[in-house]
Amino acid sequence: MDQNCDADKIILRQPDDWHVHFRDGAVLRAVVKNTASIFNRAIVMPNLQPPITSVEAAFSYRRRIMEAIPDGVIFTPLMTVYLTDDLPIDVIERGFQAGLFTAAKLYPANSTTNSSEGVSDLKEIDSILETMQKIGLPLLVHGEVVDQEVDIFDREAVFIERHLIHLLERYPALRVVMEHITTEQAVQFVEANSSRLAATITPHHLHINRNAMFAGGLRSDYFCLPVVKREHHRRALRKAATSGNSCFFLGTDSAPHLRSFKESSCGCAGIFNAPNALESYAQVFEEEGKLHKLQGFASEFGPAFYGLPLNTGSVTLVRREQVIPEFFEVNNGLGSKEKIVPFHAGETLNWSVLGLKEALE
């Protein structure tokens, strides 16, 4: 299927989201529809509290996600397992054999939201990585060092130097995704190792640089991890995403947090972009004069990396301005409602996704 693209309408092969956070409970029930109504599949992150570290927990989480999908919507959550220092190898093997795990996620311990049970030292998971390499289960990496001596804006680049280079050398057949890359160094490193290393790129890292976090005051809505970087890094990411190079593909890292957790003296990292992620990417591709490269990034390079079939359906984007809501309301589980602020809140985006009915008219 070729992308069908004119000045006012884009028909794309249906995309997938290769990195998303759904959470659990009331938030899960509120946010799944945003992803499920646009994307056919999504790689679901396992950093719940407690994290997904067993086959049973992953099956049960998948069931809760399925229950939250609106009637009539077809959507497949692709599950991941959360690596810990002492995760039994048979969890990896059984989850893989059951067709449940699409990948395993490496969070360096204390690198980001709900990562305290993550991996303290790569040596601890040597036999897990050997097994993953053998069975062909991809490793998804949160690529930041946790060393407090390293400046927070350098933690991704230092992770590549200190860990990723060695990891690729030690496990030459392991397939790896560097998730949500944020730097020029990551772009170059992924390009140089693209035979078995890929990267997801989020909408927010394509739209904002670190100034956004401090524009007129401290703006927690723009705080995510890895933290947004300098402008030249954003430019490198835009070039990579729109390049048509298949080692870069769509992963929103949509990460909803209730307003009260974002706006606190120790606010959570994460940007909720699921309601308008595809339009947000389309805007970037248009600004770069690369709309014709959107389908590869959004719908083709991810399945190719994971060895999964291409989607056969399509989505239609039309040039129609939409103002993004200031907030969404969700039940906080305590009997009252709380806000979640989406990315682009109050801004106008140029493209809109047509509902299925409208698309057929």
Catalytic annotation, residues: 253
Identity of the residue, 112 or 245, whose beta carbon is nearer to Zn ion in the bound complex: 112
What CA–CA distances, in Å, run from 175 to 135, 186, 198, 299? 11, 16, 8, 19
Closest approach of Cβ 34 to ligand DOR, in Å? 15
Site residues (CB under 5 A) for Zn ion, limited to 256-315: none
217, 236 Cβ separation under 8 angstroms: no
Phi, psi of 176 (to 5 degrees): -130, 140
Identity of the residue, 110 or 188, whose beta carbon is nearer to ligand DOR in the bound complex: 110
Closest approach of Cβ 313 to ligand DOR, in Å? 29
Identity of the residue, 76 or 202, whose beta carbon is nearer to Zn ion in the bound complex: 202
Closest CA to 251 of 271, 277, 290, 284: 277
Say whether residue 16 binds Zn ion (CB under 5 A).
no
What CA–CA distances, in Å, run from 117 to 128, 183, 308, 337? 16, 26, 30, 30
Residue 113 near which of Zn ion, ligand DOR, none (CB within 5-8 Å, type-dependent): ligand DOR
Region from 160-168, 204-212, 229-237, 249-257 binding Zn ion, contact rule CB under 5 A: 249-257
Q: Which residue of 117, 144, 253, 279 would you call a contact of Zn ion, by CB under 5 A? A: 253
Residue 212 near which of Zn ion, ligand DOR, none (CB within 5-8 Å, type-dependent): none
Identity of the residue, 15 or 270, whose beta carbon is nearer to ligand DOR in the bound complex: 270
Q: Give the E-state strand segments of 116-229 in sequence order.
A: 139-141, 176-178, 197-201
Task: Please state, in angstroms and rounded to a whole number, the distance separating the CA atoms of residues 72 and 33.
Answer: 11
Closest CA to 150 of 142, 158, 140, 161: 158
Say whether residue 17 binds Zn ion (CB under 5 A).
no
Region from 25-33, 34-42, 245-253, 324-332 binding Zn ion, contact rule CB under 5 A: 245-253
Closest approach of Cβ 128 to ligand DOR, in Å? 20
Task: Please state, in angstroms and rounded to a whole number, the distance separating the CA atoms of residues 206 and 129.
Answer: 31
Residue 186 near which of ligand DOR, Zn ion, none (CB within 5-8 Å, type-dependent): none
Identity of the residue, 55 or 224, whose beta carbon is nearer to ligand DOR in the bound complex: 224
Closest CA to 45 of 104, 95, 87: 104
Residue 37 near which of Zn ion, ligand DOR, none (CB within 5-8 Å, type-dependent): none
Closest approach of Cβ 202 to Zn ion, in Å? 9
Task: Please state, in angstroms and rounded to a whole number, the distance separating the CA atoms of residues 83 and 51.
Answer: 9
Residue 112 near which of ligand DOR, Zn ion, none (CB within 5-8 Å, type-dependent): ligand DOR
10, 282 Cβ separation under 8 angstroms: yes
Pairing of strands 314-323, 348-353: antiparallel
Closest approach of Cβ 86 to ligand DOR, in Å? 22
Binding site for ligand DOR (CB under 6 A): 21, 47, 112-113, 142, 224-225, 255, 268-270
Identity of the residue, 108 or 302, whose beta carbon is nearer to ligand DOR in the bound complex: 108
Closest approach of Cβ 227 to ligand DOR, in Å? 8
Task: Please state, in angstroms and rounded to a whole number, the distance separating the CA atoms of residues 80 and 13.
Answer: 25
Give per-residue burial for 13-38: e unless 16+ CB within 10 Å, then b: bbbbbbbbbbbeebbbbbbbbbbbbb
Residue 224 near which of ligand DOR, Zn ion, none (CB within 5-8 Å, type-dependent): ligand DOR
Q: Could you list the residues that contact Zn ion (CB under 5 A)?
A: 253
